[in-house]
Chains A and B, each alone.
Chain A
């Protein structure tokens, strides 16, 4: 299956939320995003992989928070005023992704989405990506939530 089928709407345009990790821009499809919150008190949980920050109370619901920097194998960074948590609904679970900052919402048409270029495919994080969107001011990497939250890899980590 090509990535086009998964992420492109009927009108061939998708709306993505653009967020930043360091200098790089990433995108997650807006339909998957529930809300964007400021980092509040997060409760730590024992025995979880270190990219899992913990859990928080999202109006009576418990959301697991993962640190996207750590998940992608990047250098961790201290939270600051720009730090945001993008809350997504995935596979019946509420999961928050902690990112450096959230910048804007962009429309992307299918012609502007390409497969991951070879130079990126070599990087560790490539399996979490499902495509690259071309913007006027640079490239936008689209996240693949399925890989991001996959448990197979977690098992390896646990063991």
Chain B
């Protein structure tokens, strides 16, 4: 069998199961008594093992087998879950990920990568636990008793279930079962019949021990689709994919091929117990085509069928139906089907099964379910989205250009058309921006495991809480904040949360808490990282800064506590006594700050000694669009991003004071230094009585930028300039093109001040 086709399924299923397992494991760590998690994990391991074995990946199968065994031991309470076991389980998961990944690289074959040593070690660990704990002497009496009770319970439960099931199936065999088709499906059936295809209803029963149910059903559908068209499945395709079915499912399809050929093809798929194929042979006239057979007298039924067929040829359809209906004891008005073939039994089960059982199809057939799966999502490459984004921006620029050119025109029709155009372009732009939005969960979901591992390594107990992971951000922003967030979280674990002993001593809860919260505020997203750890010792920061020569002793003493805490954003500043595996790495908070500022965001820190630290990140929803204030400096136009601007004011020349040779103004009892960009741009400073000043903020300090003219607010598209010559230019964040085609540089305030 060509396995490569199923690699996709296998891959997806593997990821699903590993995720399921990992999530449950994390949950289990918090609530070790919760059997449900253990059961989920057991099932995940079991399913995974089955898949791997079917695909012929021995190493994965062996691994998952050991995990499954371990889970079984835990499940039956022969062993209590402790940290060492959790660690091994997590390690095992990592190894499984490595194994699955190595398959991906090599398509279908398992590769023994360089990590094989690790794999072997983890596997040995797993095996070691399993063998020691499986010995009966390792079981305490009490536990054994408990276990027995448990088993008994389970047994009675399962027999009870069985009985129930039998009752249901009996009921079903006695009742009328209906197949309902939607309009779409009816059309599909009709077209198929017109094309000379036969519509077949195939009921497939999988073996009881089948462990790859979703994949098996997918394989059946695949086979069927090779020779015909799939019309409907019961349960729906989605449910099949989700494994939301017991052992049997029904596939309705049209084909030109012979029934037996199809059957043989399906029969080649492993783990199938039974296949039955029935040919649907009449047109469907009403919404319901029901069919049911009583199997007591099959030969008679055949006759009936033939009779019906003959009558049908006589063209009196309604009559035929009526007659048929009467003969069939008026089961349904619209009996529209003739059974040609009834059933097949796989060689494995000698047991004959009644026809009715064959079609005991699910009693809950959702009516509105369109079985021909419609495409609801399309994958689109980032490049295409970026291109679209650029085009949309171009459109906006051109649109505003047209608006400019037609200003003053009085033609009502033209004005109407322009306003429509304006709305449409805005909408296109909005939609494209929306399409680029990705939920924060995409990066947030990595953190629980990371925090857990770090905490274990540091021997700390930490509760990690995530809120607002559903909030969406532009993918470019998301790309940029992953590393900074990791760094901040690492810091919280490493420097924030104290060791258990210290926490108890300082009267805190033994377990520390780190909270990662995201929240949307108008045009930006706020992310807080809050820990209830020891906070930052501002005195220590002062000392370090003085020692490193960043500030003088005197300056250090002058700093307020808040200001001292801000020192951690200074390049080259790190308070960790030694570089640890966790937050060392030579990446400082200044890098975090730079990264966040580079995408137009900012970061703030508040720390309370003994109580904890909060970082606040303010991020733009999207980096492609920014609100700017257009200003004139000399004869040139520049743009200042709005997120830097506090306000703009006009002052008299006389208001300018001089402090230590620097120009300042006083506003609201604050001394605001002035910056004249003219000199920077080699533009002569004009002599004017009135001055326009744009007050900008950096690290909660104000600076006034003297400009010659305020031109107004505008939403612009930042054009990326790939040229390395210009990257990292101080004071220059990029450029935008205005409606008139002019290029305007966007000022980068942080490096300018």
When C-beta atoms are compared, the residue in chain B nearest to A152 turns out to be B724
- Asked if B680 and A46 sit within 8 Å, CB to CB, the answer is yes
A140 sits at the interface (CB 8 A): no
Q: Residues of A contacting B719 with CB < 8 Å?
A: 61-62
- A93–B721 Cα distance when bound, in Å, is 7
A66 sits at the interface (CB 8 A): yes
Knowing A43-B742, A149-B724 are in contact, say whether A62-B681 is a contact too (CB < 8 A). no
Q: Residues of B contacting A41 with CB < 8 Å?
A: 742
- Report the stretch among B62-70, B335-343, B727-735 that lies at the interface: B727-735
- Asked if B726 and A48 sit within 8 Å, CB to CB, the answer is yes
A33-80 interface with B by 8 A CB criterion: 41, 43-49, 52, 55-57, 60-64, 66
Of the candidates B397, B724, B735, B741, the one whose C-beta lies within 8 Å of that of A151 is B724
Of the candidates B721, B728, B744, the one whose C-beta lies within 8 Å of that of A64 is B721
When C-beta atoms are compared, the residue in chain B nearest to A96 turns out to be B723
- Asked if B745 and A55 sit within 8 Å, CB to CB, the answer is yes
B178 sits at the interface (CB 8 A): no
- Asked if B725 and A46 sit within 8 Å, CB to CB, the answer is no
B353-386 interface with A by 8 A CB criterion: none
When C-beta atoms are compared, the residue in chain A nearest to B744 turns out to be A43
A91 sits at the interface (CB 8 A): yes
B722 sits at the interface (CB 8 A): yes
Q: Residues of B contacting A60 with CB < 8 Å?
A: 390, 394, 397, 737
Q: Residues of B contacting A154 with CB < 8 Å?
A: 724-725
Give the distance to chain A from B235, nearest Cβ to Cβ, in Å.
50
B450 sits at the interface (CB 8 A): no
- Interface size band for B: 20 to 34
When C-beta atoms are compared, the residue in chain A nearest to B736 turns out to be A62
Q: Residues of A contacting B636 with CB < 8 Å?
A: 43-44
Knowing A41-B742, A55-B743, A91-B724 are in contact, say whether A47-B737 is a contact too (CB < 8 A). no
- Asked if B745 and A45 sit within 8 Å, CB to CB, the answer is yes
Q: Residues of B contacting A44 with CB < 8 Å?
A: 636, 681, 745
Task: Pick from B680, B681, B731, B735 the residue with the most CB of A within 10 Å.
Answer: B735
- Asked if A62 and B731 sit within 8 Å, CB to CB, the answer is no
When C-beta atoms are compared, the residue in chain A nearest to B726 turns out to be A64
- Asked if B723 and A94 sit within 8 Å, CB to CB, the answer is yes
Interface residue count on the A side (C-beta < 8 Å): 27
- A127–B187 Cα distance when bound, in Å, is 73
A95 sits at the interface (CB 8 A): yes
Of the candidates B677, B727, B735, the one whose C-beta lies within 8 Å of that of A55 is B735
- A49–B204 Cα distance when bound, in Å, is 74
Q: Residues of A contacting B720 with CB < 8 Å?
A: 62
Q: Residues of A contacting B745 with CB < 8 Å?
A: 43-46, 55
- A47–B722 Cα distance when bound, in Å, is 17
- Asked if B732 and A45 sit within 8 Å, CB to CB, the answer is yes
- A44–B638 Cα distance when bound, in Å, is 10
A98-155 interface with B by 8 A CB criterion: 149, 151, 154
Known: A55-B726, A64-B725, A151-B727; 15 extra A-B contacts, CB below 8 A, are A43-B743, A46-B729, A46-B730, A46-B731, A47-B729, A47-B732, A48-B726, A57-B737, A60-B394, A62-B720, A62-B737, A62-B743, A64-B721, A93-B722, A149-B723
Tell me the B residues contacting A by CB distance below 8 Å. Answer: 390, 394, 397, 636, 677, 680-681, 719-732, 735, 737, 741-745
- Shortest beta-carbon contacts, A-B, top 10: A93-B722, A93-B723, A64-B723, A43-B743, A151-B724, A47-B730, A62-B719, A92-B722, A46-B681, A57-B743
